[in-house]
Structure 1
């Protein structure tokens, strides 16, 4: 399949699916976390997909593409930290935290792979 837009990228699809999962899961967080951990997790999870979208549109410029992919990778790593905090606060079960962490590990791996093989993604 030829990728014509960022929505065709599997990594973007996984980032969006995971962001929506984070949105649903954080609905169960305590009200006192609404303006802190809940917001941080929702923002970072959405940013992963947004950075991938922006990277795709900037792929004519390899340095810009790599920069945006690195930003997406950073946001995904940030999510892994938020997930661990939520687990330690007992807002997430161990299994849910492990599933989310695994999803972000897969996203990070895909982003690193794309950044390492620019010839596949950049004209």
Structure 2
């Protein structure tokens, strides 16, 4: 399959699922009242998919690579903030496991794409 637009990228598709999962988790009554953490984890999740999209639409592979670096970092930020949400009781262990595994998967996919792009540079 030829990738013609950022929506074709598996990394972006999975990042979209991660963002949806984060928004659903932060909609719970207790989580939604913590404006700081809620906003930060939402922004980090949005950053993952947005940086993949923006990088893809930029002028060249070096820029795309840099945006993937940022997206992968944002993915790690989401994972770290999920630990906070778990530790203070905003999410259950099962919710943490599901979201954390998805974030880890997204990070690995971005890492693979980043390596592929780097080889082409």
TM-score, normalised by the number of residues in structure 1: 0.89
Match of 2:83 in 1: 84
Residues 40-51 of structure 1: pairs in structure 2 closer than 5 A:
40-51=40-51
Segments of 5+ residues of structure 1 without an aligned counterpart are none
Segments of 5+ residues of structure 2 without an aligned counterpart are none
Count residues with an aligned counterpart.
Answer: 120
* Cα contact 1:49–1:72 (8 A) shared by 2: yes
Cα 1:113/1:77, change in 2 over 3 Å:
same
TM-score, normalised by the number of residues in structure 2: 0.91
2:45 counterpart SS class: helix
Using the TM superposition, give the Cα deviation of residue 98 of structure 1 relative to its aligned residue in structure 2, in angstroms.
Answer: 1.1
Aligned-pair Cα RMSD in Å: 1.8
2:37 counterpart SS class: helix
> Deviations along 1:22-74, whole A, 9 cap, x unmatched?
111101052530x201111111111100000011112x423211110000000
Q: Which runs of 4+ in 1 moved over 2 A?
A: 29-32, 60-63
> Deviations along 1:72-118, whole A, 9 cap, x unmatched?
00000000011000000111111110111111111111111111112
* Cα contact 1:29–1:91 (8 A) shared by 2: no
Alpha-carbon distance in 1 for matches of 2:29, 2:75: 20
* Cα contact 2:65–2:118 (8 A) shared by 1: no
Match of 2:115 in 1: 116
Residues 27-106 of structure 1: pairs in structure 2 closer than 5 A:
27-30=27-30, 31-33=32-34, 35-58=35-58, 60-106=59-105
1:117 counterpart SS class: helix
